[in-house]
Structure 1
Amino acid sequence: MPDTAGAYYGVARFLAVEHVDSPAFTPAGRLLFLAYTSGTPQVWTVDEPGAWPTRLTPHEERASALSASPADESFVYAMDRGSDERDQLLHYDLATGVERALTDDPESKHAWGAWGPDGDCVAYTANREADGRFDVYVQEVGGVDGDGTVTSAGDPERVYEGPGGWLNVAAFGPEGRRIVLTKAHSSSDEDLTLLDLESGETTNLSDDSEATYSHVHFDGDGGLLCVTNRDSDTAYVARLSLSDGSVTPVAGHDVTADATGEPGTDEWDVDGLAFDRDTGRIAYTVNEGGYSSLSTGTLAGDREDPRFDPTPTPDVDGIAADLVFGPEAGRLAYTHTSPTTPYGVRTCGFADRDGDGVDATGTATDWTPVGRNGLPDSAFHAPETVRYETFDGRAIPAYWTLPPGVDADDPDERVPAIVDIHGGPEHQRRPWFYPTKQYFLNRGYAVLEPNVRGSSGYGTAYSHLDDVEKRMDSVADIAAGVEWLAEQPSVDDDRIVAYGRSYGGFMVLAAITEYPDLWAAAVDFVGIADFTTFLENTGEWRRSHREAEYGSLDDDYEFLKSISPLTSIEEVRCPLFVQHGANDPRVPVGEAEQVAEAVREQGVPVETLIFEDEGHHTTSRENLIAEFEAIADFLDEHV
């Protein structure tokens, strides 16, 4: 099915478009980043904008969690095996190229945390002692002496036994004796705890209210700078006192207003923050309906009344994430993308205290121009932001993209449409560069990407609208989206595809069982077929976190069974494609196996693709190409 403009490109062309993210600065100002050039993310570096990059890590498995030392030219990164998410931590010395494993416990998951202030140690959490409990470890990193002698890393020292479930190191204190921890009870509720490494004592910095805390930085003056939504529907930049846990707003919206972030309002979440303690320089991003606005400035005022003094800031024109300052905060780097711009790293410079500096006018530079594999600009298409009304009158935000050459008002050019449902559910589809979406547009499919109730990015109240007994209301929002599609003159409502990953895979399976007459075909990636078997078999450390969203096995078993797609699987009428990874620790592969078998028993066409060397995400480019070529053939046959 070539696109209506006549130019057809295979999926390999789109999947090979470069992807660069996760910038990090060394003390000497060298920029490090993750790039997918070799087919899996590896650590690369480049000396100046647009220069030829140098690959540093040599592996076939994916690298992640890149963090540069604050004291020398080295970095730590994480790497798993077969996408199993059991990350190990490795240390890399840039002067010698010597790479050493800090951890070697492949049955445990090591979650990167933070460097110690002197660069001699790192702090992280791991479930080394019990699968369902993450503890805090501090470990000497060793290094390479001036004569080239390699100093081995120290043994991990457990400094705190976690309470059970997910635990994360958020920040390491500037004096080297305190660590801030975040403990997630759910996606919308976290504890913030101060751990004293000398005494082992902990201090709870969060109150009893539901709130989240992220992008945590010690301010060096008895407080933390962070992004939080405490006492607010949307998130803002705040200073949190280490003495009494009180919160003072610094930047973002007016938290004293009786406001909501629900679709149709102008209250938005702050979703990113960088802070340099020595200069007081701040940068933060606001998620405005999926697009980013970037603000930079300086933290001014006294500790009791901090305020944000803005400076000239570049327009983002898309989405900015992973904000990080370079040495002396003279430069800010961030990951940038837009619907038609592949992921890359941009930087902007600032004047120093004497008024000098590079790019001090608030302009941005593409530090890693991203290759497009020979694809022309005309191969990439931006969406329109729309809202459609659902069953209770609520407006559901969505991104809507027609394939090239299609007139939205011409009923003679009716095209098939994919309803692409995001995972999470506490997640948000944003207008980032999405190569497989561009591939399907190129093949002549329109794409609707809804942010149904339960999505993040629109305030806490909106994210709770699908909790537990309200779960199926979000599925009804999908059905309302199909009704909206039927009103579009250019859409063939007999050729609508349900398509989603992870929790979005559950939404696909729920949509084709609850509203079976709406769909011509469905594509389920790593989806939940039965909430009870999913919760029984998911990683032990994740179970309580997921039960807070979906309901618990002890209290809600019958309800969870009743809303599970597998319970109503006899309703499925459309052909189904099921993809999964055998190493998936989040949604075990048994979910795919049981739904495929049950649908097949109904006499409905089913195609399965299970990768033995993948997990929750397909990370190998070779596997991705095979995956989407198979999906395209499946849709060509049935749609």
Structure 2
Amino acid sequence: MRARAGWLLLLSGLVGCAPAPPSLKSLTEIHEVSRPRWNRQGDLAYLSDESGQVRAHVRRAGGASAQAALANVTLAAWNPQADLLTLQYDPDGSENSQLMGWEPASGKLQPAAIKPGIIHHFGTYSRRGRLAYSSNERSPADFDVYLDGQRLAQAGGLNVPTRFGPEGKSLLVVRQGATLSQQLWELDMEKGERRQIAPAQGDSLFLSPGYQSRSRLWMLSNLGADFLGLVEWRRDSNQFRSLWKAGGDIEAWDYDRKTKRFAFSLNQQGYSRLQVQDRSAAAALEVGELPPGVYSQLAFHPDGSLTLQVDGPSQPSSFWRIWPGSPRVELVLGERPVLEGLRPPTPVRLTSSDGTVVGGLLSWPERPRAAVILLHGGPASQARPTFSPLLLELTRRGIAVLQLDVRGSTGYGRRFAQLDDGPGRFQAIDDVEAGAAYLRSRGLNKFALMGHSYGGYLAWLSAERQPENWAALVVGSAISDLPGYMRETAPWRLENRRAEYGDSQDPAYSPLTEVGRLKMPVYLYHGRNDTRVPFAQGEAMEQALRAQSTPLVWREFPDEGHHLMTPANRRLLTLEVASFLQEKLLP
């Protein structure tokens, strides 16, 4: 914990004695980088929004740079046999992802898998540069496996190829079922045969699987456990065994064959802890101090160093390099920490009405006057201490923010993540009410409720149950009519969503049923190209609120989908929501 503690002390020491913090507008203009990928020559590919769109960039080992002329890129991956990347991009936010080849030296773009209305998910490259991906071209609900443009295997459900075998003759494929349930199978590419590796039935995850040899696989899994750990599968016994546990989720890992070292990112109440370990030693190696936050994209390099992506409350998403066994740390790419006046969010625990303990992150101003409870989407997700101009600005203005992990959130083990399934949905509302009671116990009595996607759906239901609790609502891309949503959402999501919500026709699960109880001011937004929660869901709520004269700000984003991808739109939303909450909570 030394790295995190050092930064927390530094940040805390700045409160009250630092220069004036940056304006909200300047915070929204900070550029972030993400998804780093290095090739064998030491060239770095990554995503950045510095152009006003999220594009792929390359920074050569020698210092030269290039930018792809393609917007809304979500992934960039090197071909191991050529100076070529495959870019996955979402043309209009509808999640109909396409694959484009890019030669950074010439700037040339060449289609790899592009068909309008068809989804293509990048999978992996073989050592010889063969491209594996999945596509729902045959059926809107089913993703078959493709190799270099040719269908390799027909499969039902959402399948994504993840890794070729050592000789390039086999391919690992992960099938996503319910939110917290995956299957892992291996395709013999010569014989066309499949082998089920992970159980065909169950509620376990199998993340980042990879071959250590032809007979052994390593991966992250919670098979037979409450949390994600590193496990090994052996072909001769067809059995799994645990290699590494951490008392919480291991979220990212890498292994350096040369030094025989593991690197792990461990989730501890939302914050990441980096641990580097010799395979044969019990004690962890010294690592230098990094900004607190979330650590991902771990990668060892030939010189023994480790790079990772860091995203923290004071640190816009950026790339860092450490040298295990020494305190040496280097910022590779990205903005320096934004430190002025920051109070980092603190992990909290509180007790719901049925005795269930729920957690979250609390951002507490020096002199709080009101509070916002922020509900994340998913619900299989977690409040994380990442860079948010809106949260920084609200705290600066004296508005506390409780990012609440209601039951159904991840990061607290398998059982907690399943507590809200089906009938448990209404108990998640109890958790929201427990959050308001907790804030009252700390002397506050004026609250707003804010959520996106599932978080917005839960915000509707919570506000309708106890409208007197809330001075304002901010809701985005949220379900308003559950049966309608189940009819309208993208076909490939139905299996997953049925496991989460069931096929309930009970009107109590639809916020439109009790919309008449919503009299508080509402800020509502939705992307017109949303295929997860179709735009009609937001539009129906907008019309219902207007019909009963509920004070309403309605923001439609015609060029966005479920998540806002364009920096200008994200900036507009942040500025408008900050102004709205200021007006309603601190008149």
Q: TM-score, normalised by structure 1?
A: 0.84
For 2:468, which of 500, 512, 517 is the aligned residue? 517
Matches within 5 A, 1:58-97: 58-59=69-70, 61-97=71-107
Give the Cα–Cα distance (whole angstroms) in 1 for the partners of residues 407 and 120 of structure 2: 33
- Measured in 1, the distance between the counterparts of 2:396 and 2:318 equals 23
After superposition, the Cα gap between the structure-2 partners of 1:298 and 1:106, relative to the gap in structure 1 and judged at 3 Å, is farther
Alignment of 1:444-463 (within 5 A): 444-463=398-417
Shift of 1:75: 2.0
| Secondary structure, aligned partner of 1:18 | coil
SS of the residue corresponding to residue 342 of structure 1 reads coil
Matched, 1:134 2:143: yes
Partners of 1:452 and 1:586 in 2: how far apart? 21
The AA in structure 2 aligned to 1:157 is Q
Q: One-letter code of the match for 2:249?
A: D
How is 1:247-258 mapped onto 2 (pairs within 5 angstroms)? 247-253=240-246
Query: Conserved in 1, the CA contact under 8 Å of 2:311 and 2:318?
Result: yes
Q: Is the 8 A contact 1:68 1:74 kept in 2?
A: yes
- Alignment of structure 1 residues 62-461 onto 2, 5 Å: 62-119=72-129, 121-139=130-148, 156-163=149-156, 165-207=157-199, 208-253=201-246, 267-276=247-256, 280-297=260-277, 299=279, 311-316=285-290, 317-326=292-301, 328=302, 330-349=304-323, 361=326, 363-370=328-335, 377-403=339-365, 405-406=366-367, 415-461=369-415
Shift of 1:43: 2.0
In structure 2, relative to structure 1, the CA distance for the partners of 1:58 and 1:12 (3 Å cut) is farther
Question: Contact 2:68–2:107 (CA<8 Å) still a contact in 1?
Answer: no
Tell whether the 8 Å contact from 1:209 to 1:231 is kept in structure 2 after alignment: no
Q: 1:65 to 1:628 in 2, by over 3 A?
A: same
Contact 1:345/1:368 (8 A) holds in 2 = yes
Q: Distance in 2 between matches of 1:188 and 1:53?
A: 42
| Structure 1 residue 313: Cα displacement | 3.7
1:568 equivalent to 2:548? Answer no
Q: Is the 8 A contact 1:117 1:173 kept in 2?
A: no
**Correspondent of 2:26 among 7, 10, 13:** 13
Say whether residues 1:598 and 2:544 are aligned partners: yes
The residue aligned with 1:354 is none
Query: Following TM superposition, by how much is the alpha carbon of 1:52 offset from its aligned partner in structure 2, in angstroms?
Result: 7.7
Provide the C-alpha distance between the structure 1 equivalents of 2:267 and 2:501, rounded to a whole number of angstroms: 26
- Give 1:438 deviation, angstroms: 1.1
Q: TM-score normalized by structure 2? A: 0.91
CA drift of 1:231 comes to: 0.4
Task: Give 1:381 deviation, angstroms.
Answer: 3.1
Q: Which residue of 2 aligns with 1:304?
A: none
CA–CA separation in structure 1 for the residues paired with 2:571 and 2:525: 13
Cα contact 2:515–2:544 (8 A) shared by 1: yes
- Secondary structure of 2:579's counterpart equals helix
Aligned residues with identical type, % of pairs: 26
What amino acid maps onto 1:115 in structure 2? Y
Contact 1:11/1:625, CA 8 A, preserved across alignment: no
Do the aligned residues in 2 keep the contact of 1:23 with 1:324 (CA within 8 Å)?
Answer: no
Q: Tell me whether 620-629 or 213-222 shows the greater mean CA deviation.
A: 620-629
Secondary structure of 1:386 counterpart:
strand
Find the aligned partners of 1:114 and 1:568 in 2 and give their Cα distance. Answer: 47
Displacement of 1:219 after TM fit? 0.6
State the SS of the aligned residue for 1:361.
coil
CA distances 1:41-93 after superposition (whole Å, capped 9, x unpaired)? 22223357xx988342123x211122222333332221111212111112223
Structure 1: which 5+ residue stretches go unaligned? Answer: 140-155, 254-266, 301-306, 351-359, 407-413
3-state SS of 2:81 partner: coil
Unpaired runs of at least 5, structure 2: 1-14
Q: Equivalent residue for 1:500?
A: 451
| CA contact 1:512–1:574 (8 Å) conserved in 2 | no
Cα RMSD after superposing both structures = 2.4
SS in 1 for 2:80: coil
Identify the residue that residue 533 of structure 2 maps to in structure 1: 587
Alignment-derived partner of residue 6 in structure 2? none
What's the offset of the Cα at 1:364?
A: 2.9
> How far, CA to CA, are the matches of 1:292 and 1:636 in structure 2?
32
Q: Deviations over 1:401-459 (max 9, x none)?
A: 123x42xxxxxxx5121111111100001111222211222333211111111100010
Query: Could you tell me how far apart the structure 2 residues matched to 1:35 and 1:573 are?
Result: 41
Runs (4+) off by over 6 Å: 3-6
- Aligned match of 2:47 in 15, 19, 34? 34
- Per-residue deviation, 1:281: 4.3
Give 1:393 shift.
Answer: 2.1
Paired residues of 1:580 and 1:609 also in contact (CA < 8 A)? yes
User: Take 1:308 and 1:35, find their aligned partners in 2: how far apart are those partners?
Assistant: 39
CA deviation after TM superposition for structure 1 residue 239, in Å: 0.8
User: Measured at CA, do residues 402 and 562 of structure 1 come closer, stay the same or move farther in structure 2, by a change above 3 Å?
Assistant: same
